[in-house]
Chain A
Amino acid sequence: MGLRFTHVNGASPNKRMIETMGSGAGFLDYDNDGFLDAIVVGGVPEQGPRLFHNEGGKRFVDVTAASGIRTPGIFGMGVAVADFDNDDFPDLYLAGYPRNYLFRNSGSGRFRDVTAEADVAAGGWSTSAVFFDYNGDGWLDLYVGRYVSYEPAREPFCGIRKDGWRSYCLPDVFGGISGVLYRNRRGRSFVDATREARVAVPEAKTLGLAVSDYNRDGFPDLFVANDRVRNFLFRNRGDGTFEDRAELDGVAYSDDGAARAGMGCDFADFDNDGNADVLVTNFETEGAGLFRNDGRGSFTDVANRSSLGRRSYLFVGFGAKLVDLDADGRRDAFVVNGHVIDNIALYKDSVAYRQPKLVFHNTGVGFDSIALPEDVSAPSVARAAAFGDFDNDGRIDVLIANNGGPAELLANVSSPDNHWLILKLVGTRSNRDGIGARVELRAGPLRQTHEATAGSSYLSANDPRVFCGLGPRRRAERIDIHWPSGTIQTLENVSANQVLRVVEPHEVKQP
């Protein structure tokens, strides 16, 4: 397909921790031609990111040189995509160590580095980043997660003092560092709102991020997955501030009250009850967490009630998403794995460095592990996973960034029997991408709730369009779109199997 990229992590005998965390990947339609392009983040500073143009869903062409995207001096980590200046073209935020870059998309295929004027370099070791409009002003704000307080020159010795046994350190040996919340000033620049919004938590060791209005109060909330530190659930109070509800609402820890090694995460409604649930991947012997939202402000970890918890138990999970892979109307789970210690085989004989991808089919009563074809399931050291339908065939594909290895683009070739609908939202009173819009769909007995989001799980940016699997149904009888501006838009009798562009009406229409 032409998407050739091999990540260079700079693996060294000094076992610098940053070498093992991988880099990100994302989908974006930077030229608005209707097909998702791809960006893959490089590892060592010399490598840099690569932008690939999608030629009609058939192949990808490397257009990095012409794009003007360069990130000198940083070890690449995450990518976030959104139209932060509401000019119709998706912009790029590239996170890394020891600083980050923001690129404004000119619309002509060129990007311009606006980091300095936007004042969003952050500093330190940034990981995942996500755009969302937390204050509802129609401009997308930016949250940047940071991992640990880190200086490669002061990397301690970890592992056993024996030839070949030095290992990458776990985050416990480093201090935490708060993420940064940037408030968007009408697309021109950003202001650091971390303190005023009450999301400054110095013990944070953030790897994954996910956004959803989980309590349906009209304000987007933020889930933060931390490594060996409790997770955060920043509930948006609607007044420009947040309250961390993770402990009280039950997503901070495992069922045993232990802080796990949170990596990738997603915030989506897997049981079609209208409430966004949380999926978090963790370290080996911890198992993934699947927190079911009861709609009354409480979550319960139900991962162990199906094969999701058991099957993920022996792996180090990173990128993950609740995504309807077979368009049957229920979100399945896709998880990529890979250990962080490259010589782990010296220490443990039941754990491998390269690990398989896991796919769990949502049966409606639980998750069943699915065996992938051999060429797809081959173990790798996977980190980021970006999801999107790059060939617009109604099946969500996956772009995987492997640490120190080639990127993989997995084309979804599941049975095309089921019907689907893709909504490309265009905000007018809301932010241009419609990020944060809640979509309620009804098709026969099927009820679904979706939210337009801009990523990010672990270091990744997903297709911002809303994908709805309809199963055998050929149309959706009714779709209600709750725009962030408060506008509610209703579509009726929408035919299946199309990418539908939906523009937010200027006038408020009552349901």
Chain B
Amino acid sequence: MRRQAALAVAFWLGVLAIRAWPQEELETAYDLIRRGEFTSAEQMISARLKAAPLNADALAAKGFLLAQQGNHTGAIGAARKALSLQPAHAFAHTILALSLLATGQRDEGIRELETLTRAHADNAGGWRNLGLAYLQAGLPDKAVPALRKRLELVPDDDLVRIDFTSALIRLGRHREARQVMNQISRDAELEEKLCQALLEAEWHPEVALRLEAWRNRAPLTPAMTRQLAEALAASGSLAESERLLAGIREPARDAHYALAAAWAQILREDLPGAVRTIQQAIRREPAEARLYHALAMVLLRGGAALDAVDASEQGLARQPDSAILWFSLGMANEYLERHGEAQNALLRSIELDPSNGLGHYVLALSYSIGSQEWAMVEASYRAAMRARPQDNLILNNWARELAKRQKWDEAEAAARELIQRPGHEATGHDVLARAAAARGKADEALRHFEMAVEAGSEDFGSAYRFAMELMRRGEHDKAREQLVKFRSSKTAAEERERERAVLVRLARF
């Protein structure tokens, strides 16, 4: 009898424990969290959990609160508990995913968002979060369908439209990007955000076009002026860029201004001037990571790699989790051929920002030169190409790397893609020629070597290899002629400089 009574008590306690939280009360708790009134929110959630400790809504709310307070580990625990009670709890999935992403557990976070959007195809927030997570993970190809889905559900979300544009540009789908951009409201704040995204995607002419058009209708904001100056400088209109920058007065001479002004000075080959401009800006905004990064990059361009290391480290002392500062530290160390330190810094940078395709690329170069670990070289190149599929420099070096390692099938595939890209046909033909030569297809090799040389290969090894192939075929006169061309074109010292120049070319900010 006593046993039956005890079971009945337990049953009712269980019912009470999982009883749903009234929607109105739940919304209030969320509002309190959103407003930053954490103490009141915590009291409310704790009271609810005391009354109903197995309530999934309250646990999810607790997760939300902890996440907002920066306690992502706690948030993960609360969200997981909520999901164990109610596996389809959309908000708990969201909290769990975002906290996983925030703690660097990117793959798990993305998996969680994929689960959420599979189960709740109409969860617009889920699609946005998934698209952004893909973008940050350097997977623009996956970001595009997720963000498109979000826009289908919330057609007026212009902020997501900017991210969508960014993803399309990274995939080289510029025409589609332009169509998407045209749907964005003509609002100054949105325009600044869009132009910043375009600058980050290195689509400078488009920024210049948009802002020139804007200027015809309305005055440029200081941020837009700086953006236009940067775009014009990068597009070669240096004088106009400098005129615009000169028009910016205090207090609008912020970090953005300093970066644009320094870039213009670099293009004028005034590296000391660029260093001074950035150092002045650092004195005004000593916690701005981008300034230290820019300083390091300017110093690197000038060959002062040790000073670039110092600049990066000074910035990291203030912003230890800045991905771009770890990147500049990695670049500077790689320039110094301190491959181990470079790799550590670049890995940290990528951990913080996996979408940094250049970080993956420099890491690939570092592994290739410094350790010869093929698995690492390959993984880094593949990540770099995923993040920057249209980057010709990366594809070019990938093809050369494959050829160097005599991985002829993959090298051929990369080379065939390269010859479709204007300006990169020479490397494509050179790699195809080497692959053909390795397979004993002498005629094909010769044909491609000839095309590589005609296309003006930057890799002067092409001319040499062409000459050697001619020698092997007994065409001695042609081989001699080719050797004369080869000799007059380059020296080994220049080749070494070319390798270093790749890093300097990447030293942008």
Contacts and interface: CB of A to CB of B under 8 A. Distances in A.
A351 B340 CA distance: 10
A148 interface: no
Interface string B476-509: 1001100100110011110110000000000000
Given A248-B476, A257-B486, A350 B370 contact: yes
Contact of B406 (A247, A248, A298, A304): A304
A248 B480 contact: yes
A248 B479 contact: yes
A349 B341 contact: yes
Nearest to A259: B492
B339 A349 contact: yes
B495 A258 contact: yes
A305 B476 CA distance: 27
Contacts of A176: none
Given A247-B483, A248-B471, A160 B306 contact: yes
Interface in A160-186: 160, 162, 172
B320 to A, nearest CB: 21
Contact of A298 (B369, B405, B468, B487): B468
Given A257-B490, A259-B491, A350-B338, A250 B370 contact: no
Contacts of B490: 257
A297 B468 CA distance: 11
Contacts of B465: 255, 257
Interface string B325-337: 0000000000011
B361 interface: no
Chain A interface, >50% SS class: loop
A27 interface: no
A256 B336 contact: no
A157 interface: no
A350 B340 contact: yes
B183 interface: no
Contacts of A285: 369
Given A310-B372, A350-B339, A250 B495 contact: no
Given A228-B492, A260-B492, A310-B372, A255 B461 contact: yes
A348 B487 CA distance: 31
A254 B464 CA distance: 9
A258 B370 CA distance: 19
Interface string A198-238: 00000000000000000000000000000010000000000
Interface in A259-288: 259-260, 285
Contacts of B237: none
Interface in A367-398: none
A229 to B, nearest CB: 8
A60 interface: no
Contacts of A258: 461, 492, 495-496
A249 interface: yes
Contacts of B487: 247
B268 interface: no
A412 B214 CA distance: 81
A293 to B, nearest CB: 12
A247 B371 CA distance: 30
Q: What is the size category of the interface that chain A forms with chain B?
A: 20 to 34
B120 interface: no
Contacts of A347: 336-338
B210 interface: no
A294 B337 CA distance: 37
B398 interface: no
Please indicate which of the listed interface residues A228, A259, A260, A349 has the most CB atoms of chain B within 10 Å of its own CB: A349
B459 interface: yes
Contacts of B370: 350
Contacts of A248: 471, 476, 479-480, 483
Nearest to B484: A247
A471 B66 CA distance: 74
Contacts of B471: 248-250, 297-298
Interface residues of B, number: 37
Nearest to B341: A349
A253 interface: yes
A310 B404 CA distance: 11
Please indicate which of the listed interface residues A285, A314, A350 has the most CB atoms of chain B within 10 Å of its own CB: A350
A150 interface: no
B464 A257 contact: yes
A298 B465 CA distance: 12
B173 interface: no
Interface in A98-133: none
Interface in B276-307: 306
B463 interface: yes
B112 to A, nearest CB: 38
Contacts of A310: 372
B464 A253 contact: yes
Contacts of A353: none
B439 to A, nearest CB: 14
B460 interface: yes
A250 B468 contact: yes
B215 interface: no
Nearest to A287: B372
A5 interface: no
Nearest to B476: A248
B464 A256 contact: yes
Contacts of A247: 467, 483, 487
A349 B340 contact: yes
A314 B483 contact: no
B111 interface: no
B402 to A, nearest CB: 12
B472 interface: yes
B479 to A, nearest CB: 7
B82 to A, nearest CB: 47
Interface string A294-314: 101110100011000010011
Contacts of A253: 464, 492
Nearest to A248: B471
Contacts of A298: 468, 471-472
B486 A349 contact: no
Contacts of B404: 304
A350 B342 CA distance: 10
A351 B306 CA distance: 18
Given A247-B467, A300-B472, A304-B404, 10 more contacts: A162-B306, A172-B493, A247-B487, A249-B471, A256-B459, A256-B495, A257-B461, A258-B495, A349-B339, A350-B340
12 contacts: A248-B479, A255-B465, A257-B460, A257-B464, A257-B490, A298-B468, A347-B336, A349-B339, A349-B340, A349-B341, A350-B337, A350-B340
In the A-B complex, the 4 residue pairs with the smallest Cβ-Cβ separation, listed nearest first, are: A257-B464, A256-B461, A259-B492, A349-B340
